[in-house]
Amino acid sequence: MSTLSLLAPAKLNLFLHITGQRADGYHELQTLFQLLDYGDTLHFNLRQDAQLSISPAIAGVAAEDNLILRAAKLLQQYSGCNLGADIQIDKILPLGGGLGGGSSNAATTLVGLNHLWQLQLPLHELAQLGLQLGADVPLFVEGKSAWAEGVGERLTALKIPDCWYLVLKPDCEVSTLQIFSNKQLTRNTSPITIAAVFEEGHTNDCEPVVRALYPEVDNALKWLSLKTNSRLTGTGACVFGQFADQASALQVLNELPAELTGFVAKGVNQSPCHSKLGL
């Protein structure tokens, strides 16, 4: 096999609690990660030399900073593999959206090249390797909707009941670092047990800070909460509502005011990337 196309799916944080902060500044989280059947598509073409390329460029991201190239280089170094790849991306996930796009791109690169280069590294080893690229990379490498603790890397796969989501993209980009550095951020939510995961009432501790700093996010949440329960994902900027079926979600999408865009996606318990590779 010399070519491979794989989805790099988005995730939603169905809730996000911040329970503490580590000595290195990173925050301890408890969250429920829901994978979606919607995301970027990566096309890999095998090269017999060790060259790596990515196209098209992502606006505002230098090639050497692109998480796809960083993941590919990391895997080459780690495995000692001397094969390469030309990688193309159909990018539809917004940057700074809280949908985990960059982390998902990195994870799909690790999983895709592991397959194309026939390295046969187990997923848990790729997940550990990927953590240095982003806190959400292990989730996308493992490829299962999950309960997460630590900085998001201690994962327990969970079956989330089938449902559909309307995701709104406010016209702004939120920096994860800016939100985690904010003095007003709640950092001492009491930990819950895994048994309480599906109880109502869990929220996103980043939401008040993001709403105060970004009126676009505040407006999107206000609009969506008139239709259904609405919440921020990650550190934003995207917000979402949950629906029992596709038609109900599409109906609300059709009513969006002109200043908002969005999409409807199905929640999945396994990443479409992993389903395609039979993982």
Ligand X SMILES: Nc1ncnc2c1ncn2[C@@H]1O[C@H](COP(=O)(O)OP(=O)(O)OP(=O)(O)O)[C@@H](O)[C@H]1O
Ligand Y SMILES: C[C@](O)(CO)[C@H](O)COP(=O)(O)OP(=O)(O)OC[C@H]1O[C@@H](n2ccc(N)nc2=O)[C@H](O)[C@@H]1O
Rounded to a whole number of angstroms, the minimum distance from the CB of residue 134 to ligand X is 6
Residue with the shortest CB distance to ligand Y = 234
Contact stretch for ligand X (CB under 6 A) within 29-37, 91-99, 117-125, 141-149:
91-99
Strand 27-47 and strand 84-90: the pairing is antiparallel
Please state, in angstroms and rounded to a whole number, the distance separating the CA atoms of residues 38 and 256.
20
Q: How many residues belong to the site for ligand Y (CB under 6 A)?
A: 18
Q: At what angle do helices 67-79 and 123-130 cross, to 10 degrees?
A: 120
Rounded to a whole number of angstroms, the minimum distance from the CB of residue 247 to ligand X is 28
For residue 130, state whether it binds ligand X (rule: CB under 6 A). Answer: no
Task: From the list ligand Y, ligand X, none, pick the one residue 151 interacts with, judged by a Cβ distance below 5 to 8 Å according to partner type.
Answer: ligand Y
Nearer to ligand Y, 151 or 250 (CB): 151
Q: Which of 58, 135, 217, 232 binds ligand Y (CB under 6 A)?
A: 135
Contact stretch for ligand Y (CB under 6 A) within 66-74, 131-139, 250-258, 267-275:
131-139
Structure tokens at 194: 């895994």
For residue 105, state whether it binds ligand X (rule: CB under 6 A). Answer: yes
Print burial letters for 64-94: b (CB count within 10 Å at least 16), e (below 16). eebbbbbbbebbbeebeeebbbebebebebb
Please state, in angstroms and rounded to a whole number, the distance separating the CA atoms of residues 246 and 243.
7
Q: Which of residues 154-213 bind ligand Y (CB under 6 A)?
A: 176-177, 180
Residues in CB range of 122: below 8 A, 6 or more apart: none
Structure tokens at 176: 């994860």
For residue 143, state whether it binds ligand X (rule: CB under 6 A). Answer: no
The pattern of x and - marking residues 223 through 262 that bind ligand Y according to CB under 6 A reads -----------xx---------------------------
Residues in CB range of 272: below 8 A, 6 or more apart: 7, 9, 37, 39
Closest CA to 113 of 45, 213, 188: 45
Task: Note whether 106 and 71 are within 8 A (CB).
Answer: yes
Rounded to a whole number of angstroms, the minimum distance from the CB of residue 103 to ligand Y is 5
Residue with the shortest CB distance to ligand X = 102
Q: Which residues bind ligand Y (CB under 6 A)?
A: 13, 25-27, 29, 31, 98, 103, 134-136, 151-152, 176-177, 180, 234-235
